[in-house]
Structures are given as C-alpha cells and as structure tokens.
C-alpha cells in the first residue's frame, strides 16, 4: 500500500511539472459527491461458515484543490464512509484529470490515495476500531459549462483497510480482526 501511495505522489508531481507548459491561473476547484459503496462480503457467522452477503453503504466526500493546468486538478479529499460496522473518515490527496471530450460533457480520471480515520466512529464496550490506508481510482463524467458549476457522475474502486480489536473470550490472549473493504463506489455530485 505504501508503494501505491508513493507511486501516486510521484505521478502527481510529474503531472504538475509537465502541466506548467500550459498557462492557467491557479483557480480553486471543488467536487462534492455522495453515493453508494457496493460489494460482496465473505465472513464466518457462528455455526455457518463462509457466508457471502451483499453490502451497500453510504459515502460522502468533498475534493478541494486548485486547477494546476487546463486539464489537471490537484487537491485534498475529506469524506465519510458508513460501513456496517465502522464509520471511516478518509483524508487523501487526489487528482482529477480531464480527458478530451465535448465542451459540455467531459470524462475525467480520478486518483485518490490516503488514510481512513475513525474520528466519528463509536465503538461498543470492549471494542477498538482503527482506520488504515485507502485508495480510490476511477472515472467520471462532468456535464456542464467549463467555467461554471457542473453535474458529476463517477464510478470508482475503493479499497479501505480497517483494524478492530475485540473483547477477549475465554482462553484467548488476543482477538484482532483485519478488514479490507473492497467496494465499487457510484457517486453523483456537483463541481465548480
């Protein structure tokens, strides 16, 4: 995961250096989106072993940054992801890169990497939940004028690590769970 994060930062720096060829005033940009996280989960449930179940969770995020070039935007992502057993607050670095398209409908690439915190999560007695690394690559569609607010649709893959310590049962010295949430995120929102 650290390698992916380092690669992401390297691409961001190289894109910024190459983007300096095009004159653009550094303009504030914002993408605020909400949607769902969709995935299948395999877990052990008492007498039933390896139960597979579909999960749907709510996600909300805001991307705030600057327009580095005509096509590249870089910024910080703050969000909230409500999984069944954890409320995670991702904080990440991200880029939005516009691909060629019509002036009023443009496809863009999303690349986010960061860390998910448990600032707003409430644990039951004896439990302790900690966040972990997060990546969120994907594609999106921006519909609207370039110089005004636009409507956005995005589809991404979200991978979030979470660690949970649970109360000990008899004859146990440690009870720890490492979770990896692999989800498809479908979001709608606005951009300006």
Q: Where are the domains of the chain?
A: 2-191
Find out if CATH 2.40.160.20 is the number for domain 2-191.
yes
What does the alpha-carbon distance between residue 152 and residue 60 come to, in Å, rounded to a whole number?
14
Nearest CA among 89, 53, 59, 26 for reference residue 156: 59
pLDDT tens-digit map of 68-87: 988 899 999 999 999 888 89
pLDDT tens-digit map of 113-142: 999 999 888 777 777 889 899 999 999 999
Give this prediction's pTM.
Answer: 0.76
Is the torsion defined by CA of 57, 60, 65, 71 positive or negative? Answer: positive
The first and second tokens of residue 22, run together, are: 């095009």
Contact 65, 32 (CB under 8 A): no
């Amino acid at each position: 995961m650290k390698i992916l994060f380092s690669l992401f930062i390297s691409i961001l720096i190289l894109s910024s250096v190459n983007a300096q060829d095009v004159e653009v005033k550094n303009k504030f940009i914002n993408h605020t989106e909400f949607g769902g996280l969709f995935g299948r989960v395999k877990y052990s449930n008492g007498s039933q072993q390896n139960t597979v179940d579909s999960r749907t969770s709510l996600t909300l995020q805001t991307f705030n940054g600057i327009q580095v070039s005509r096509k590249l935007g870089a910024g910080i992502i703050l969000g909230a992801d409500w999984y069944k057993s954890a409320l995670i607050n991702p904080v990440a670095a991200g880029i939005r890169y516009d691909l060629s398209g019509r002036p009023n409908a443009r496809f863009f690439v999303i690349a986010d990497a960061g860390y998910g915190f448990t600032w707003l999560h409430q644990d039951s007695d004896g439990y302790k939940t900690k966040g972990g690394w997060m990546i969120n690559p994907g594609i999106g569609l921006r519909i609207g004028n370039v110089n005004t607010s636009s409507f956005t649709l995005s589809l991404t893959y979200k991978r979030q690590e979470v660690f949970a310590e649970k109360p000990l049962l008899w004859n146990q010295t440690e009870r720890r769970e490492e979770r990896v949430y692999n989800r498809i995120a479908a979001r709608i929102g606005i951009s300006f």
